Amino acid sequence: MDPVLLLLLVLLGFMLAGSLIAVETRDLLSSVICVGAVGFGTSLVFLLLGAPDLALTQVVVEILVLVVLVRVVITRRDETHATSRATLPVGLVLLALGVMAAIVFGTLATGEDEGLTMRPFGDPLLNEQAEASVMAPAGEKAPEGAPARMPKSAGGAFLAHGLSESQGSRGTGAANYVMGILLDYRAYDTLGEATVVFVAVLGVYAVLRKVGRSRHAGNESDR
């Protein structure tokens, strides 16, 4: 068995166990720390799958989330479990599990129809190549000097042309292809991401501000 696959399954099992404990434990602090373990497990999986940029970002994000959540949980009382716990009807749970199993098996079953099923793990669309004439836009011929076979997926095209200057202005020249896509081909996407982060910070400020909160300063229950 492939050692990478084995290690991956062990890490995913660890993450599954961590998330189950995080969801089911009664102590909120344990729950938050378990979700931190799941996040660091994600980071390790990214590292294992050849995504070092993602692993670094995930560690930073995880530390921030963990610090904020621990700070929230540790200073606040919680009486959720003093009251009786609402239980879901057994029939509803069984129905939900059945629907989930149908979706998962329908998605993952390796069938004959290539377009409808997922490719097996470790064999992405990246491995496929097509004739250049097939990949050209409808009604046009393949450009002069292009290689006879071209990658079939967008990721393969980025890998094939990311560095080269021969394909017109397609190449970025960046050695790190992920950063080339993020900051050059999809720069507007990254700008939008920065906007989302900015709006989220404004939202946090608006929700948590103390100044100018209440018109009835004397009425505490109206806050």
Partner 1 sequence: MTLAMAPYMLAFLIFVVGLYAIVAKRNLIKVIVGLLILDYAANLLLVLVGYRTPAEGAPVAPILVGGAEKAADLAASAVDPLPQALVLTSIVIGLSVTALVVALAIRLHEKYGTFDTGLMRNLKG
3-state DSSP assignment of residue 145: coil
CB of 196 to partner 1, least distance (A): 5
Q: Checking phi first, is residue 168 left (phi over 0); if not, alpha (psi -120 to 50) or beta?
A: left
How far is residue 48 from each of residues 8, 176, 182, 204, measured CA to CA in Å?
A: 7, 17, 21, 35
Helix residue ranges per DSSP H, 25-153 = 28-48, 52-74, 90-108, 132-135
> Which two structure tokens, joined as six digits, stand for 62?
């995880």
For partner 1, the closer of residues 138 and 211 by Cβ is 211
Of 141 and 192, CB closest to partner 1:
192
- 53/131 with CB nearer partner 1: 53
Whether the CB-CB separation of 150 and 132 falls below 8 Å is answered with yes
- Compute the chain's Rg from CA coordinates: 25
Least distance to partner 1, CB of residue 135, Å: 15
Residue 142 Cβ, how far from partner 1 at the closest point, in Å? 19
Of the pair 71, 141, the CB lying nearest partner 1 is at 71
Q: Which is nearer to partner 1, 50 or 137 (CB)?
A: 50
In the bound complex, what is the minimum distance in angstroms from residue 106's beta carbon to partner 1?
11
Distance of closest approach, residue 66 Cβ to partner 1, in angstroms:
10
Tokens read off for 161: 């042309």
